[in-house]
Amino acid sequence: MLKGTTIGLRARHEDDIPILRTELYDDVVNGSRAEAAPWRPITPGSKDPRLVVDDTNERNVSFSIVELEGGTLIGSANLWGIDNHSRSAHIGLGLLPSARGKGHGTDVVAVLCHYGFIVRGLQRLQIETLADNHAMLRSAERNGFVREGVLRSSAWVLGEFLDEVLLGQLAHEWKSGRSV
């Protein structure tokens, strides 16, 4: 397990799947804001890649997020679009409603940076988020990500086009102060 200050990133367990499905992916608003594709329900037992991890896919690494104190599941995180040639990847995360607003997102981004830069030896990490996702923007910027641009009206979300913010960080810019 990779450890931050308050959270751990561990492999997905079978009993995580129903919780993530009902508390993250069955939420139409959250699901519509988090995915590039239109929201659709996930059938129990489905092999949907948002829930069931394909360990053979070298371009994506998925984690379950747990609180260090007690081990309670609080969300899902991943490095996706891993490009071993250009040594880059994207960061994604989703916290259960009960875990939001507690600073966990900042800790998750820090641990994903450690994993990407130190464990995987990547050169660049990137985050794309909706311009009104202030929690993610704060989490990224607290971890040294720099706003590189705005993709105007690039995301269709629940009947309207929204701007996306592109943030990036290079390995030499990242400063770890954490034991993982």
- Tell me the C-alpha distance between 69 and 3, whole Å: 11
Task: Please give the DSSP secondary-structure letter assigned to residue 43.
Answer: -
Largest CA distance in the chain: 43
pLDDT for 143-172, tens place per residue? 999 999 999 999 999 999 999 999 999 999
pLDDT for 135-148, tens place per residue? 999 999 999 999 99
Using pLDDT thresholds of 50, 70 and 90, give the confidence band for residue 125: very high
Whole-prediction pTM: 0.93
φ, ψ (nearest 5 deg) of residue 151: -95, 100
**Higher per-residue pLDDT: 31 or 115:** 115
b/e sequence 79-110, b meaning 16+ C-beta within 10 Å: beebeeeeebbbbbbbbbeebeeebbbbbbbb
pLDDT for residue 177 is more than 60: no
pLDDT for 63-82, tens place per residue? 999 999 999 999 999 999 99
Q: Where do the domains of the chain lie, and which CATH numbers do they carry?
A: 2-123 (3.40.630.30)
